[in-house]
Amino acid sequence: MPPLKHYPPKPEKVYLYGTCLTELLYPQAGLDSLRLLEREGIEVLFPEDQTCCGQPAYTSGYQQEARQVARSQLDLFPESWPIVVPSGSCGGMMRVHYPQLFAGTPDEQRAKEVAERVFELTEFLVHVCQVTLSDRGEPERVAMHTSCSARRELGLADTGPALLKKLGQVTLVEQERASECCGFGGTFAVRHPEVSAAMVEDKSQALEAAGAEHFVTSDCGCLMNIAGRLDYRNASLKGEHIASYLWRRTS
């Protein structure tokens, strides 16, 4: 498990790091992340030059290429405000792996400084904002999928469920394979498609067997993979990024 992170008082401003998949496939999740933060009285800064965090190259073994991509992100957050990321995988890359990626380089200290300010969205809402939620939705049974990076790299298996438990009309149901990978794993799904397909089939069946009417996750890669598999099977179960789910039920 990673060491316990120090949580500061709620700040006046934060940076929002949108992530590639959010921007390309689920822009509503990015907008809803911004709205949730602004509702807490926080000014949200969105650096327009942000691109990929470098994780695909890094996990594929291309260290130099990953540094080149990641280095361009280090200049985007000049002030000392927290950096909020609506993705455990990108958050894990920036917080856990940036110091390793830049170790022994002139950018080592700058990478460490950025890493220390990175917070995953559900983590930030729970531990920094200490958010309260007023549920305006209908009663619903919901399952939560926490990504491997959020669960294992950041130690955040509980923050997503904690937010859902704040919704008075939501019953959080536990899936049998809650701690298992959905099979996406970034480039893993491309390099090992048959294994990935088997894993996401197991995950999809577990979500359905739990009796969930809806599932949520805090990672767009997992959302794309699981929801895509369910759609392929013409399943009635639908998924949503947790930011959009929270905003929809509380706005």
Domain-by-domain residue ranges, the chain?
A: 13-127, 132-250
The CATH code of domain 13-127 reads: 3.40.50
Across the beta sheet with 238-241, the strand order is: 170-173, 140-145, 214-217, 238-241
pLDDT over 80 at 135, yes or no: yes
Confidence band (pLDDT; 50, 70, 90) for 188? confident
pLDDT over 60 at 209, yes or no: yes
Per the DSSP assignment, residues forming a β-bridge with 38 are none
Contacts of 190 (CB under 8 A, 6+ apart): none
Structure tokens at 135: 């549920």
Phi and psi at residue 25, to the nearest 5°: -120, -30
- Predicted local confidence at residue 3, as pLDDT: 52
Confidence band (pLDDT; 50, 70, 90) for 110? very high
88-109 average pLDDT score: 97
Q: Minimal CA–CA distance to 84: which of 136, 146, 30, 133?
A: 30
Average pLDDT in the chain: 95
220-234 average pLDDT score: 95
177-199 average pLDDT score: 91
Instruction: Specify the amino acid at residue 214.
Output: H
| Length of the chain as a residue count | 251
Identical fold between 13-127 and 132-250 = yes
27-31 average pLDDT score: 97
pTM score of the predicted model: 0.95
Element (H, E) at 202: helix 193-209
How far does Cα 240 stand from its chain's mean position?
A: 12
* Strand duo 214-217 + 43-45: pairing: unpaired
225-236 average pLDDT score: 95
CA-CA distances (angstroms) from residue 224 to 4, 11, 158? 30, 32, 22
Domain 132-250 has CATH 3.40.50.11810: yes
Q: DSSP class of residue 241?
A: E
Cβ–Cβ contacts within 10 Å for residue 233, how many? 12
- Predicted local confidence at residue 37, as pLDDT: 98
Confidence band (pLDDT; 50, 70, 90) for 84? very high
- Predicted local confidence at residue 25, as pLDDT: 94
Decide if 210 contacts 128 (C-beta within 8 A). no
- Predicted local confidence at residue 231, as pLDDT: 95
33-42 average pLDDT score: 98
Rounded distance between C-alpha atoms, residue 215 and residue 3, angstroms:
29
User: Which residue is listed with tokens 């983590």?
Assistant: 123
Confidence band (pLDDT; 50, 70, 90) for 185? confident
- Predicted local confidence at residue 190, as pLDDT: 86
Rounded distance between C-alpha atoms, residue 72 and residue 90, angstroms:
15
Decide if 89 contacts 113 (C-beta within 8 A). no
